[in-house]
Amino acid sequence: MELIIDAQRLCKEFSGFKAVSDLSFQVFRGDVYGFLGQNGAGKSTTIRMLLTLIRPTSGSIHMFGKDVSLHRNHVLRQTGAVIERPDLYRYLTAAENLTCFARLNGLRLSRIQILDKLRQVGLAERADSPVKTFSQGMKQRLGIAVALVHDPDLVILDEPTNGLDPQGIADMRQLILSLSRDLGKTVLVSSHLLSEIEQIATRMIILDKGRKMVEGTVVELLDPANTLLECQTTDPEGTWNWLEQTEWASHRIESRQGLIRLRLPRTHIPLFSRAVADAGFDLTTLQSRNSLEDYFLTLTGAQENG
């Protein structure tokens, strides 16, 4: 598979604060790649490094096989991006906005080409409406049309559902899927709305405090044969030590604040429960994690932090 983004051991410090730490990930052609994490996880900082808006403190980024620090123009000609809320000319129409941004890219698009770009994002009927009359969701879609104006291979969207109502979020989800399925774009989309990414991503990474927690497909991360199990007993330390001496030792992940985490096939959960009881430990909770959101909260410790 062709590598579109290859980031290796990225670090970014601001006045001694590490916003991104030893981060490596890869995006392949055709991916809808979910960049997941809570606010402050390092998503936007990483995206700015990909777009050469800021330089990494250390590490390397190759995009389309080129070192971005040496081939900035080559990379950006093949990349379109919307960073947070798009900057648009409020008093110009949607079509006039696209015309302006096309010219900034050295392009002169015909009316038919402009309408085609707007059709791709569902705004063809509002081509001649001033942007100031648009809802936030419509502005986001127009921002994506601007990002598509030079027909890039890679589209990067930073929190595209921020400020949208449920219908706007659903529309954005369908638009992202259309970019991949209908237009053949590789898409990197950052978000903290995990349930949305779960529905559209082919692959994803979960970040916490600037570090990679896990990377893979939804199927890989949520494979029933690899279920994340949490349990509590009246003697967590004793249970943890007992597990070390049993067949369950290789399934252990961690014991923290009285909560024991294991990874094992879902079908083994009843066997595990009986084994703990037979060993004389009283289970007070036993819970499997079934959704990406549960998995994310477990990895980042968000539940303990409130």
Chosen domain end from 203, 218, 233: 218
Q: Which of 210, 211, 176 is nearest to 193 (CA)?
A: 176
Q: Is the pLDDT of residue 295 over 70?
A: no
- SS3 letters for the chain? CCEEEEEEEEEEEECCEEEEEEEEEEEECCCEEEEECCCCCCHHHHHHHHCCCCCCCEEEEEECCEECCCCHHHHHHCEEEEECCCCCCCCCEHHHHHHHHHHHCCCCCCHHHHHHHHHHCCCHHHCCCEHHHCCHHHHHHHHHHHHCCCCCCEEEEECCCCCCCHHHHHHHHHHHHHHHHCCCCEEEEEECCHHHHHHHCCEEEEEECCEEEEEECHHHHCCHHHEEEEEEECCHHHHHHHHHCCCCHHHEEEEECCEEEEEECHHHHHHHHHHHHHCCCCEEEEEEECCHHHHHHHHHCHHHHC
Q: Are residues 113 and 246 in the same domain?
A: no
In a domain? residue 300: no
Whole-number Å distance between alpha carbons of 269 and 160 = 39
How much is the pLDDT for 305?
Answer: 39
Q: Are residues 16 and 162 in the same domain?
A: yes
**CATH number, domain containing residue 282:** 3.30.70
Q: Are residues 210 and 267 in the same domain?
A: no
Please write down the long-range contacts of 214-218, taking CB distance under 8 Å and 24 or more positions apart.
214/299, 215/25, 218/292
Q: Are residues 271 and 135 in the same domain?
A: no
Q: Are residues 132 and 188 in the same domain?
A: yes
Q: Are residues 199 and 95 in the same domain?
A: yes
Chosen domain end from 166, 199, 218: 218
pLDDT category at 293 given cuts 50, 70, 90 is low
In a domain? residue 299: no
Q: Is the pLDDT of residue 306 over 50?
A: no
In a domain? residue 303: no
In a domain? residue 143: yes
pLDDT category at 186 given cuts 50, 70, 90 is very high
In a domain? residue 305: no
Domain limits for position 271: 224-290
Residues 10/23, Cβ–Cβ less than 8 Å? yes
Q: Is the pLDDT of residue 304 over 80?
A: no
Q: What angle do CA 130, 131, 133 make, to 5 degrees?
A: 75
Q: Are residues 242 and 209 in the same domain?
A: no
Q: Are residues 247 and 174 in the same domain?
A: no
Q: Are residues 213 and 228 in the same domain?
A: no
Q: Is the pLDDT of residue 292 over 70?
A: no
In a domain? residue 168: yes
Is pLDDT larger for residue 288 or for residue 90?
90
In a domain? residue 264: yes
Residues 284/233, Cβ–Cβ less than 8 Å? yes
Summarised one tens digit per residue, pLDDT across range 9-31 is 999 999 989 999 999 999 999 99
Per cent of the chain over pLDDT 90 is: 70
Number of domains in the chain: 2
Q: Are residues 203 and 76 in the same domain?
A: yes
How many alpha carbons fall within 13 Å on the CB side of residue 270?
Answer: 1
**CATH number, domain containing residue 31:** 3.40.50.300
Q: Are residues 149 and 246 in the same domain?
A: no
In a domain? residue 158: yes
Query: What mean pLDDT value characterizes the chain?
Result: 90
Q: Are residues 127 and 146 in the same domain?
A: yes
